[in-house]
């Protein structure tokens, strides 16, 4: 399709759509393409075993405790200090680099808290849209390793984060923003910065865009070659894309849709990255095709089960990064979301934000420990499982072992309710004459199936605060 026709179609469609992207939330691709590389397939299968991960947003925005990056973007939905001009505000925000000195930086605390919660993989923000690198890049002085933290032995922050989580057995993911609002090759100071897109005509300034492509490639090459084994390259900023890859998510941006193709040559990046990291999972968010090895709906769970790889990325609190006086989800809420997501075929990537000093808020550590109280006892029904055809019955969700020989029923107990004496579900009947056991303790429970409905008699003395009960059985089908 010719570019002019594509742009016209975008404008017409965008006019009729709700501006779902106004809050910076990425939606979900409508198409999935399975990878062909055997090593990528193998890594993807391993990733699908993990089910529960941690995404860490940490950057300049931790200093004042505010929304990550977006406050410097000039879009109508963004509210900021009205006493400052826009240019002065950007200078103030970028000037936070002089104040960011995380002298208590403790990635081991993060990794321990994640492990205690039952998390199995990490995605760490090596650079968000504001362009501030959380690694020692040679491409820019705008990094944690060049400011007041430069002389600290752990100044190359990403290295120590990855090392700490590797020691706890995590798969390692590097988040990287394709747009860089600090770079003169993306937001050129010659022009105003109207929105999240680059602010100059790429067709008229090919030299400048080629410099941006080289800048991006070189930073990604640093991450892929200098930081040990990396399992996932998690690329954010889906508006940086070839124009021919537009989809429903792009159309929802309304006035913020790309004016021209922001092609950064993903095939070239992929060749480099997978040469350095064989089998690397690439997650070019919302850009469907060979470089989106799994989908990443944000702050939501798909309505139905999906038979291809995906994860829901959600915040533990109200923001991705650290925000003062944030309100965090209860362990029950997180466990229930995890159960639903896994039953629908996905993984939960839970977002937390360290404070500016480099430590996790006490409330975050407590919440993660509370979640771990459940995953440590019921993990068999979550990890290394796959979907079942009949995956939901009332408050009960179902998973099965990879070989299909065992099935799991997980009863999510509403936070305000005491566990009932008997629960029941339809479908997924246990095989006649076999035992149904509680995953948490291995104890057998009484059960019966009549006309396809299975009833379970719950043991007496169950804790009221229990988030969910899980049961293991051999399926009849």
What pLDDT band is residue 167 in, cutting at 50, 70 and 90? very high
Task: Provide the pairing of β-strand 392-393 with 385-386.
Answer: unpaired
15-24, 97-106, 371-380, 438-447: lowest mean pLDDT where?
15-24
The rounded radius of gyration (Å) of the Cα atoms in the chain is: 23
User: Residue 337 pLDDT more than 80?
Assistant: yes
What pLDDT band is residue 7 in, cutting at 50, 70 and 90? very low
Q: What whole-number distance in Å separates Cα of residue 24 and Cα of residue 453?
A: 44
Strand partners, 347: 311
pLDDT (0 to 100) of residue 279: 98
Count H helices and E strands in the chain, helices first: 10, 16
What pLDDT band is residue 457 in, cutting at 50, 70 and 90? very high
pLDDT in tens, 363-412: 999 999 999 999 999 999 999 999 999 999 999 999 999 999 999 999 99
How many other CB atoms are found less than 10 A from the CB of residue 383? 16
pLDDT (0 to 100) of residue 243: 85
SS3 category, 426: strand
User: Residue 3 pLDDT more than 50?
Assistant: no
pLDDT (0 to 100) of residue 255: 63
User: Residue 162 pLDDT more than 50?
Assistant: yes
Q: Which long-range contacts (CB under 8 A, 24 or more apart) does 323-329 make?
A: 323/65, 323/66, 323/67, 323/353, 324/65, 326/361, 326/363, 328/363, 328/364, 328/367, 329/367
User: Residue 23 pLDDT more than 60?
Assistant: no
What pLDDT band is residue 13 in, cutting at 50, 70 and 90? very low
SS3 category, 124: strand
pLDDT in tens, 283-295: 999 998 999 999 9
- Can you tell me the mean pLDDT for 309-314? 98
pLDDT (0 to 100) of residue 26: 67
80-94, 113-127, 154-168, 212-226: lowest mean pLDDT where?
80-94
- Can you tell me the mean pLDDT for 296-314? 96
User: Residue 125 pLDDT more than 70?
Assistant: yes
User: Residue 361 pLDDT more than 60?
Assistant: yes
* Spatial contact of 81 and 126, defined as CB atoms under 8 Å apart: no
- In whole angstroms, what separates CA 118 from the centre of its chain? 16
Nearest by Cα to 132 from 183, 204, 70, 172: 183
User: Residue 6 pLDDT more than 60?
Assistant: no
- Can you tell me the mean pLDDT for 442-471? 87
- Tell me how many degrees the CA angle 468-471-474 measures, rounded to the nearest 5: 155
* Spatial contact of 262 and 197, defined as CB atoms under 8 Å apart: yes
Strand partners, 447: 456
- Can you tell me the mean pLDDT for 279-286? 96
- Is-above-0.85 flag for pTM? yes
Task: Provide the pairing of β-strand 396-401 with 392-393.
Answer: antiparallel
User: Residue 1 pLDDT more than 60?
Assistant: no
pLDDT in tens, 38-66: 999 999 999 999 999 999 999 999 999 99
- 8-state DSSP, 253: T
Q: What whole-number distance in Å separates Cα of residue 180 and Cα of residue 132?
A: 8
SS3 category, 17: coil
pLDDT in tens, 252-269: 766 677 778 999 999 999
Q: At 356, list the tokens.
A: 């500016």
pLDDT (0 to 100) of residue 18: 30
């Amino acid at each position: 399709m010719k570019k002019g026709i594509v742009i016209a179609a975008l404008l017409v469609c965008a006019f009729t759509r709700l501006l779902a992207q106004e809050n910076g939330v990425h939606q979900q691709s409508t198409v999935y393409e399975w990878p062909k590389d055997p090593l990528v397939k193998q890594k993807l299968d391993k990733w699908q075993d993990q089910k529960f991960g941690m995404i860490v947003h940490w950057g300049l925005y931790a200093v004042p405790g505010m929304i990550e990056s977006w406050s410097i973007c000039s879009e109508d939905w963004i509210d900021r200090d009205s006493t400052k001009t826009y240019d002065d505000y950007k200078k103030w925000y970028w000037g936070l680099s002089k104040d960011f000195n995380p002298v208590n930086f403790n990635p081991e605390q993060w990794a321990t808290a994640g492990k205690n919660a039952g998390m199995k993989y990490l995605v760490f923000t090596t650079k968000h849209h504001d362009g501030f690198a959380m690694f020692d890049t040679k491409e820019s002085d705008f990094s944690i390793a060049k400011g007041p933290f430069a002389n600290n032995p752990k100044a190359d922050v990403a290295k120590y984060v990855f090392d700490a989580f590797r020691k706890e057995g995590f798969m390692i993911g590097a988040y990287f923003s394709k747009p860089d609002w600090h770079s003169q090759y993306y937001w050129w100071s010659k022009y105003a910065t109207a929105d999240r897109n680059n602010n100059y005509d790429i067709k008229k300034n090919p030299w400048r865009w080629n410099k941006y492509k080289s800048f991006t490639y070189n930073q990604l090459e640093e991450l892929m070659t200098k930081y040990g084994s990396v399992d996932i390259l998690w690329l954010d900023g889906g508006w940086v894309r070839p124009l021919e890859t537009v989809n429903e998510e792009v159309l929802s941006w309304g006035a913020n849709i790309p004016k021209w193709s922001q092609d950064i040559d993903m095939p070239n990046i992929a060749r480099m990255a997978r040469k350095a990291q064989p089998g690397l999972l690439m997650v070019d968010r919302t850009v469907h095709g060979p470089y989106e090895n799994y989908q990443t709906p944000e702050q939501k769970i798909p309505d139905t089960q999906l038979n291809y790889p995906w994860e829901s990325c959600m915040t533990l609190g109200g923001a991705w990064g650290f925000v003062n006086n944030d309100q965090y989800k209860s362990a029950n809420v997180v466990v229930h979301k995890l159960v639903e997501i896994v039953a629908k075929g996905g993984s939960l990537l839970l977002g937390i934000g360290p404070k500016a000093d480099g430590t996790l808020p006490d409330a975050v550590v407590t919440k993660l420990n509370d979640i771990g109280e459940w995953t440590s006892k019921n993990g068999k029904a979550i990890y290394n499982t796959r979907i079942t055809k009949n995956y939901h019955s009332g408050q009960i969700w179902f998973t099965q072992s990879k070989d299909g020989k065992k099935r799991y029923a997980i009863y999510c107990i509403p936070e305000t309710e005491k566990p009932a004496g008997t629960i029941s579900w339809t479908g997924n009947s246990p095989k006649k004459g076999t035992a149904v056991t509680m995953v948490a303790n291995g104890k057998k429970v009484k059960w019966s199936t009549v006309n396809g409905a299975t009833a379970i008699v719950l043991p007496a003395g169950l804790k009221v605060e229990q988030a969910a009960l899980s049961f293991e059985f051999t399926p009849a089908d």
